[in-house]
Amino acid sequence: MKVDESLEQHFPTPVLIRRHEDIGALTVALQALLEEAVQSEPNAAESSDNTTRGGFQTAGQEDFLDRNHEALRVLKGQVIWPAVESYLSQVLKCDPLMTPVSIASWAVSLNAGDWQAPHFHPKEYTVISGVYYVWVPEAPEPEGCLEFINPNLNAVSIGNQPSGHLHQPCTGQIILFPPYYMHFVHPLKTADQRHVIAFDVRLNHR
Ligand SMILES: [Fe+2]
């Protein structure tokens, strides 16, 4: 009996990762900016509904990248927007020049033992979520890693897919993913602070 068989994988979750080199000066400037924020600003991580456990987070109502600072202008113009345009073009199949979107962003700094509880980014009109890694201390997995949870838990329950995907970040890396993709951050043991700028890309609306 002739059999024609194929094994198809349906519905992948598109994640874009870019790594930047020669960013030493940018890293130093952003680290200084974030360390100053940790020392002098109100901590949104202390709010009971925040998923950052311990650590520091800038206020959610503010767009952190919009602050008047040269390093943030460089980061936004040369790192974040090019990555967003690539994702819009490759994944969402739309022309970045014809797609009215804006960015909402916040900074997160974690010390030894701090972590982030599982969450996704459900704010309305969000089409992409992402993280830029300003500074990530070297540590063995899973310390400081970003772990994604399989959005298809039905597949996990019947035993043919892993429940999570561990992502090892590094300084100068940017990662973009769908806003519905659940994720959390493992705690570090080192005393060296881990600094990131997280963001959502939202469709403009009236
Ligand atoms: Fe997140």
Domain boundaries of the chain, sorted by first residue: 16-203
CA of 204 to the centre of ligand 1 (A): 21
Annotate 145-204 with three-state secondary structure. CEEEECCCHHHHHCCCCCCEEEECCCCCEEEEECCCCCEEECCCCCCCCEEEEEEEEEEC
CA of 107 to the centre of ligand 1 (A): 11
- pLDDT given for residue 159 in this prediction: 77
User: What is the mean pLDDT of each successive set of 10 residues along the chain, which is 206 residues long?
Assistant: 92 94 95 96 87 90 94 98 97 94 96 94 95 96 97 85 95 98 95 95 90
Q: Which superfamily does CATH assign the domain made up of 16-203 to? A: q2cbj1_9rhob like domain (2.60.120.620)
Whole-number Å distance, alpha carbon 167 to ligand 1 midpoint, is 13
Question: What is the whole-number distance in angstroms between the Cα of residue 198 and the centre of ligand 1?
Answer: 7
Report if pTM > 0.85. yes
> Would you state the pLDDT for residue 155?
84
pLDDT of residue 199: 97
**How far apart are the C-alpha atoms of 59 and 43, rounded to whole Å?**
7
pLDDT score, position 50: 86
Instruction: Please tell me the distance between residue 46's alpha carbon and the centre of ligand 1 in angstroms.
Output: 16
Identify the pLDDT of residue 133: 98
Task: State the distance from the centre of ligand 1 to the C-alpha of 129, rounded, in angstroms.
Answer: 8
Look at residue 64 in the predicted model and tell me its pLDDT: 97
CB burial of residue 84 (10 Å; 0-12, 13-18, 19+): buried
